Amino acid sequence: MPVVDIHTHVYPPSYMSLLRSRNTVPYVRTFPDAPDTSRLIILPGEDDPATPSTARGRPVGPEYYDIKQKISFMDTHGIDVSVISLANPWLDFLDPSEAGETARKINDEVNELCEQHPGRLYAFGALPLSAPAEVVVAEIERLAGLSRMRGIIMGTSGLGEGLDDPSLDPIYAALEKHQQLVFLHPHYGLPWSVYGPRANEYGHVLPLALGFPLETTIAVTRMLLSAVWDRFQSLQVLIAHSGGTLPFLAGRIESCILHDGHLAKDEKLEGRRSVWDVLKTNIYLDAVIYSEVGLKAAIDASGKDRLLFGTDNPFFPPLGGETEWLSVKTNYRAITGAFGDDADGAKGVLGDNAIRILRLSS
């Protein structure tokens, strides 16, 4: 039974060099008081000079960039194939003039890494979203021809204005035309103030556990409200973290649309497809939800043939340094628990769905 991990991140060496060459967020920095470790600082809120250097961002070691560690992680956890992707914030921050070239270089390097591990690694590419639309479209076309690329990973900001931005239409059209799936992943979170006056006592729990999923859900809901899937009816989007909160809130979203006097008059939404229709036709969900309750809701919302196993490696490592990761075990356990006697269902989520949807056998 093949196991495929479709949510697993890599910072390839050229991306690490890029982050090391910068001196503002996002960047990798080695502080003078801890010269033996580097820290990855990806959000403005993580770079407060008042925070001790040993608590700023997160330590970044070979688990981020050494592909041998990825293979070793896969072996430990019974994962046959990984579809790797650049982690946030991808290439969103690049100067428009260099974005196209940087994207080509990094995507080529990732594709080559995958070719060096035949049958074990595939990848989602990264787009130069700060560049002019034609550069982005050209990279989508180019990615479709790379041997190990199986779609693209994208954040929620799009060209900077969100995924309901009409300027994204040529990009959605190119993704649809080349059958490139979008792996939609959060990064920007919510303003820190929403977490309240004691939020800094709670580590990273509030932004990671709640901010990320809501960022994702807002982005998808804006796509629904701007009729993206009515214009691009075969655009396929794989949503990180089992859709953020989409499976649970889909009913409330649909009901709020149906009860909104303003939207009732919006011609763009006349004859629109319902949230449920899009969930079952255009949306795939990963199985990174850490509970049977959540996983069952994801299955109910999108269908068991549209759910794909993932680990979020190298994030959420075990605090005690255990070889076997609790975060991975929890997601495995949720699949076993949710499917019970339905071995085929579990097999689908663990690997068969990914092989079919991402054409991994080809």
Q: Does the footprint of its own copies cover residue 159 (CB under 8 A)?
A: no
Nearer to its own copies, 68 or 198 (CB): 198
> Do you know the residue count of the chain?
362
3-state DSSP call for residue 16?
Answer: helix
What stretches of the chain show up as alpha helix (H) in DSSP? 13-20, 62-65, 67-76, 96-115, 133-144, 169-177, 205, 212-225, 228-231, 240-243, 246-258, 261-264, 275-281, 292-302, 326-339, 343-347, 353-357
Q: Does the footprint of its own copies cover residue 41 (CB under 8 A)?
A: no
Q: Does the footprint of its own copies cover residue 290 (CB under 8 A)?
A: yes
Among 121, 206, 227, 308, binds its own copies (CB under 8 A): 206
Which residues inside 330-349 make contact with its own copies, applying CB under 8 A? 330, 334
Q: Does the footprint of its own copies cover residue 271 (CB under 8 A)?
A: no
Q: Does the footprint of its own copies cover residue 309 (CB under 8 A)?
A: no
Separation in Å, CA 228 to CA 232, 332, 338:
6, 33, 32
Among 75, 251, 340, 344, binds its own copies (CB under 8 A): 251
**Quick one: how many helices (H) and strands (E) in the chain?**
17, 11
49: preceding bond cis by omega (within 30 degrees): no
Q: Which one of 82-90, 122-130, 162-170, 176-184 is the stretch in contact with its own copies (CB under 8 A)?
A: 162-170
Q: Does the footprint of its own copies cover residue 300 (CB under 8 A)?
A: yes
In whole angstroms, what is the distance from residue 111 CA to residue 288 CA?
24
Q: What angle do CA 178, 181, 186 make, to 5 degrees?
A: 140
Q: Taking the CA atoms of the chain, what radius of gyration do you get in angstroms?
A: 20
Q: Helix, strand, coil: what percent of the chain each, to 5? A: 50, 15, 40
Among 95, 267, 319, 324, binds its own copies (CB under 8 A): 319
Interface with its own copies (CB under 8 A), residue total 69
- At its nearest, how many Å lie between its own copies and the CB of residue 216? 10
Q: Does the footprint of its own copies cover residue 124 (CB under 8 A)?
A: no
Q: Does the footprint of its own copies cover residue 255 (CB under 8 A)?
A: yes
Nearer to its own copies, 80 or 254 (CB): 254
Six token digits for residue 173: 């059209």
Nearer to its own copies, 71 or 263 (CB): 263
Q: How many CB atoms lie within 10 A of CB 146?
A: 17
Indicate the Cα dihedral angle 234, 236, 237, 242, nearest 10°. Answer: 110
Q: Does the footprint of its own copies cover residue 1 (CB under 8 A)?
A: no
Among 105, 178, 272, 296, binds its own copies (CB under 8 A): 296
Closest CA to 307 of 329, 288, 330, 332: 288
CB 133 within 8 A of CB 171: yes
- At its nearest, how many Å lie between its own copies and the CB of residue 31? 18
- At its nearest, how many Å lie between its own copies and the CB of residue 131? 20
Among 9, 150, 241, 306, binds its own copies (CB under 8 A): 241
Q: Does the footprint of its own copies cover residue 260 (CB under 8 A)?
A: yes
Q: Which one of 33-41, 171-179, 253-261, 351-359 is the stretch in contact with its own copies (CB under 8 A)?
A: 253-261
Q: How many CB atoms lie within 10 A of CB 139?
A: 25
- DSSP secondary structure letter of residue 328: H
The site string for its own copies over 174-193 (x = CB under 8 A, - otherwise) reads: ----------------xx-x
Residues making contact with its own copies (CB under 8 A)? 161-162, 164-165, 190-191, 193-198, 201-206, 208-210, 213-214, 217-218, 221-222, 225-226, 241-242, 245, 247-264, 266, 289-294, 296-297, 300-301, 316-319, 326-327, 330, 334
